[in-house]
Amino acid sequence: MQRLAPVKPERWPRPIPVGEASGVEVTAGALSDSEADRLPLICMEAVRNRLGATTPVKAPQWRLVLSSLVVDARRDARGDRMVRVRAVLEIRKDKRPLAVANGLGFLTSGAPSLRTDGVEPAEVQRTVKEACTQAVMALSAPTPPLAPAERAQLRARAAHADGKTRAEAIHALGAALREEDQDLLVAALDDEDPQVRRLAAWGLGELAAADAVEKLAGMAELDADYGVRLEAVVAINKTLTVDRSLLPQVKQAREAAVQQRQQQEAPAPAPEAPEEPSENRVLDVE
């Protein structure tokens, strides 16, 4: 469950009017079109149940939107059924997203087997509800308080010699991250510990740190750790959700990183074999 809130929840209207749903992606063949079309409505129903009854819209520019719903249904390496749902909810004012939250739902082995043409719709619907409930809970949760002394202590621990201590410090800052923590997180992107780099990328995504998107774009292509690359992509997408004008910078940085990776992966040219003298060649001998 991830949360990005550039605007404090106390400033949001209560309750937030529930708006449109879009951006649904479902694994090919998992559900029929009619079954997939119902998923956004099921998600928003879970949102309404969590928020309570909505009042008439007094400020139409404010609304809660389901901006993305991804349902991935497949079998894992052992052949067990696996369904993963990711729901992204946004609070928007006019067209600008002010807060974004992700919710994840998993359905694994132990459930009825895959039907011949896909997965059981009722089970996917329950998983969708779980993911959407998580997301709306993250949006509506207040930022946890963190005393100045605690914040200073965590920032100091983020520079500790032990990698585990550094990672724990960044994780503990969590949703209480502030813009002044950006420099600390950017520096942590170069940490030798991949877990620290993952958490640093996550934190920059939470802050929608525009100044870090180019570095994150490079990491998304070049970092040796898969988890870091994945977290960098998530952080970039969160930041672009808040500021789409950064997209050209991201594209340019990723293209440069791809070229660098291709150069690194290109096989080294084979050394040329020394030329053997021909039998008919005249050698100068002094």
Q: pLDDT digit string (tens) for 99-157?
A: 778 788 887 655 545 454 445 678 888 889 999 998 888 777 766 677 889 889 999 99
DSSP letter for each residue of 168-215: HHHHHHGGG--GGGHHHHHHHTT-SSHHHHHHHHHHHHHHT-GGGHHH
Quote the CA–CA distance of 191 and 196 in Å, as a whole number. 6
- pTM of the prediction? 0.52
Poorest-pLDDT segment among 235-239, 253-257, 282-286 = 282-286
- Tell me the domains of the chain and their CATH numbers: 2-140 (3.30.160), 148-265 (1.25.10.10)
Residue 268: what pLDDT?
A: 66
**pLDDT above 80: residue 41:** yes
Q: pLDDT digit string (tens) for 56-110?
A: 555 567 888 888 888 887 766 666 667 788 888 888 777 767 777 878 888 765 5
**pLDDT above 80: residue 183:** yes
